[in-house]
Structure 1
Amino acid sequence: MDANVTTPLVHTTRLTAAYRRYLQSANSCRFAHEVDESYTSATLLSLLARGVVEQRRAAALALGMLGDRKCIDSLGRAISDTDRGVRLVADDSFRAVLVRDAAPLHHQQLLRVMHLNDGGEYAAALSPALILIDQAPMYAEAHHQLAICWHGLEDFARAERAYQNCLWHCRFHYLAWQSLAKIRYLNGNLEKALQALDYCLDINPDLETARMQRRQIRRRMRQSDV
């Protein structure tokens, strides 16, 4: 039989076998090494899009460990996969790749900004966030963190622009869509807030907080029509 016919089956068996060993051992280094030896990113992306459930889960996990910016859109699409396990793994991998999508120095700067934002220290985070974007203007998560700074400082106009810049670089950034909806809601632009939440939930149908926001906006719109 032609080797080109049998190769995909061999590769699929290796991927699922490595994935099952990972589930038993939680040894992420071994899993990443085994996958990296046998697969290209292109093959993993193909399996993520067209494989059976176990292959899609394994591919999503592997891309989170080994992938780069070229896999961000595919992982973003997989967050709405029909299988909940694929959705969860793809979401984790999507966010992991977003955060490390820069040179190591810029990655470390981002982690510092994220730490400050997580602690509510928005004023302290603002300057390093602006410097980071100046140095790495294509870094989508840097724009998101800058938006969080402006949002926390209640400069909603600058926050909206920063969320939009984030989405320009990564249209699957569902948290940016959700936060953009909050800004638009505060500005009284209910239709556009609802539109942003629809985009958010198309990407991540499991985000219950966004679903609650959408219900709140729809109630307010109905009340306005009365």
Structure 2
Amino acid sequence: MTDASVTSPLVRTTRLATAYRRLLATADAPQYAAEVDEHYSPATLASLLCRGDVELRRAAAMALGLLGNSRSIEPLGRALCDVDRGVRLVADDSFRGLLLRDAAPTHHQQLLKVMHLTDGGEFAAALAPAMIVADQAPRYAEAHFQLACCWHGLEEPEKASEAYAACLWRCRFHYTAWQGWARCQIIAGDFRSAAAALQRCLDINPDLECARAQLRAVRRRMRRSDV
């Protein structure tokens, strides 16, 4: 046995890890997607996201954002509270991307127009197209979320609450919908329901500091009301 064989042990890596390291070096996402798609199904990637080591979990989260389907949303949602912050960050990007694309291309494009309007504060203009998308694609969670944002911007908290609930019925990991629903409960004076919703939001995504601050504020109001 030579010294080289002792000091240079064979390191076994999977194709996914190798492709992921190449992605980090080149930032070539299309090449990464092509390499992964050749050897891994979304179901296998979801399994690795749950059971792999840190590098494989990060790689799987990234790949699911590029190659995943509707069934990939739940495992990505679960990964939002992974012990590794890198996994959480990648999973969050992939999760939000899949939520937005989880519809026919026509409905996806329509919703992008709605989001452009709501981002500019044009909630009245966005309301009708948001309602149309939610009606035409009833299983599209993000359409219901954007409809809720329209109602919220128009100061219609009861209608916003209904739309947030419709979104959560379709995707229970939609943490921003939990946060929005909590705001509606605060307006209604139901601080206990608001606190429960914000806690659920943080259980899903522990990095959401704005929700943590909201929860502290709600709990202070609850303590004052109990005095």
1:17-59 superposed Cα distances (whole Å, 9 cap, x missing partner): 1101111111100100000011111110110000000000000
Distance 2:25 2:121 in 1: 38
Distance 2:154 2:72 in 1: 33
Shift of 1:133: 1.2
Shift of 1:115: 0.7
Bigger-Rg structure (1/2): 2
Distance 1:122 1:84 in 2: 34
Distance 1:123 1:50 in 2: 46
Q: Structure 2 length normalisation: TM-score?
A: 0.94
Distance 2:114 2:86 in 1: 31
1:193-225 superposed Cα distances (whole Å, 9 cap, x missing partner): 000001100000000000000000111111122
Distance 1:225 1:63 in 2: 46
Secondary structure at the counterpart of residue 138 of structure 2: coil
Read off the aligned partner of 1:216 and give its amino acid letter: A
Q: Percent of counterpart pairs with the same letter? A: 65
Matched, 1:40 2:37: no
Q: Which blocks of at least 5 consecutive residues in structure 1 are unaligned?
A: 1-8
Match of 2:116? Answer: 115
Shift of 1:134: 1.4
Distance 1:224 1:195 in 2: 17
Distance 1:180 1:216 in 2: 16
Shift of 1:151: 0.3
Query: What is the number of residues matched between the two proteins?
Result: 217
Secondary structure at the counterpart of residue 14 of structure 2: helix
Match of 1:24? Answer: 25
Distance 2:150 2:54 in 1: 39
Match of 2:85? Answer: 84
Match of 1:68? Answer: 69
Shift of 1:186: 1.1
Secondary structure at the counterpart of residue 19 of structure 1: helix
1:83-114 superposed Cα distances (whole Å, 9 cap, x missing partner): 00000000000000000001110110010001
Matched, 1:190 2:167: no
Shift of 1:121: 0.5
The CA RMSD over aligned residues, in Å, is 1.1
Distance 1:42 1:204 in 2: 23
Secondary structure at the counterpart of residue 80 of structure 1: coil
Q: Structure 1 length normalisation: TM-score?
A: 0.94
Distance 2:205 2:168 in 1: 15
Match of 2:6? Answer: none
Distance 2:15 2:123 in 1: 46
Secondary structure at the counterpart of residue 102 of structure 1: coil
Read off the aligned partner of 1:137 and give its amino acid letter: P
Match of 2:216? Answer: 215
In the TM superposition, 1:109-148 aligns within 5 A as 109-148=110-149
Secondary structure at the counterpart of residue 200 of structure 1: helix
Distance 2:215 2:148 in 1: 21
Match of 2:164? Answer: 163
